[in-house]
Amino acid sequence: MENQDNKQDNKIEQKVMSEIKSGRVKLRSKYIFLAEKLGLGSAFALSILLAVLFFCLALFYLKASDNLIYLSFGSRGVFAFLESFPYLLAASLVIFIFAAAAILKRSGVSYKKPFSYLAFGLLGFIMLAGTILAFTNIPERIERGTFGKHPAGVFFRPFFRDDMEARKNGIAGRVVEIGENYIVAQTPRNVEKIDLSELKIRLREQINEGDFIMVIGERKNGLFIARDMRVARPDDMPIIQRSVHQRFGNFVPLMPR
């Protein structure tokens, strides 16, 4: 049996050598294999790093913006939540996770262990590392630099643009004027006039100039008709508060009394 195996191995070796001598098979330098290995390793490390970063930024956005708070309004807040969801951050995260998985599969590591185990381990590492990173000041520094003069802000600005766009179903901003059945609020985008005629009196009496508020409603004829509203706590939606302060400065009533 052993002799038969040796004969078969010799035949395979002879066949390979004949193919090499004929020129149909060309040997590649070990340096090329090394370069490819280093390239795959660098691409894999970069994909993991970016996936961790975007998972961290997505968690930070959900925590520090007004996005999740809209769900506290019940079914009325769903549309505002969907409007303000960080789709670009989520899409980028998915792309880099798939890129890292594809590189891992191509590297041949999956021959040693089932690829499903490696994929779950990869996803778990990204989520764990991103969660830990979210508790540092790194995402806040990135967000502050996004709207400042930092060169990296040009790269990250599109990923925070969801919180800067005007919405049809929700408003978050600072009250600067209170009138008869309306208020005026400064938002990260512009100044909004909000019609309160369909709100309960109890809700209107709770508002003071300088308060940050979240409003659910709809736009009609250039006005935002409020259906529900609440006053934000000092630690709610810090991204919105910083954006308003950066755009309009400290609170100054539009129409001093």
Residues forming a β-bridge with 193: 184
Residue 28 within any structural domain of the chain: no
H helix or E strand, kind and range, residue 178: strand 170-179
Please tell me the predicted confidence (pLDDT) of residue 257: 47
153 and 205 belong to one structural domain: no
Distance (Å, whole) CA 95 – CA 87: 12
Instruction: Report percent pLDDT > 70 for the chain.
Output: 71
CB 252 within 8 Å of CB 174: no
**pTM > 0.85:** no
Give, in order, the Cα–Cα distances in Å from 212 to each of 80, 174, 189, 238.
17, 4, 15, 10
Q: What domain range is 49 assigned to?
A: 34-161
* Same domain as 75, residue 106: yes
184 shares a domain with 134: no
> Which percentage of the chain shows pLDDT scores above 90?
26
Residue 10 lies in a domain: no
In a domain, 131, yes or no: yes
pLDDT of residue 173: 93
Q: Are 238 and 64 in contact (CB under 8 A)?
A: yes
Of 161, 191, 223, at which residue does a domain stop?
161
* Domain tally, the chain: 2
Is pLDDT above 70 for 154? no
Per residue in 174-197, pLDDT (tens digit) is: 999 888 888 999 998 889 999 998
**Do 65 and 150 lie in a common domain?**
yes
Whether 23 is covered by a domain: the verdict is: no
| Mode of pairing for the β-strands spanning 212-220 and 191-195 | unpaired
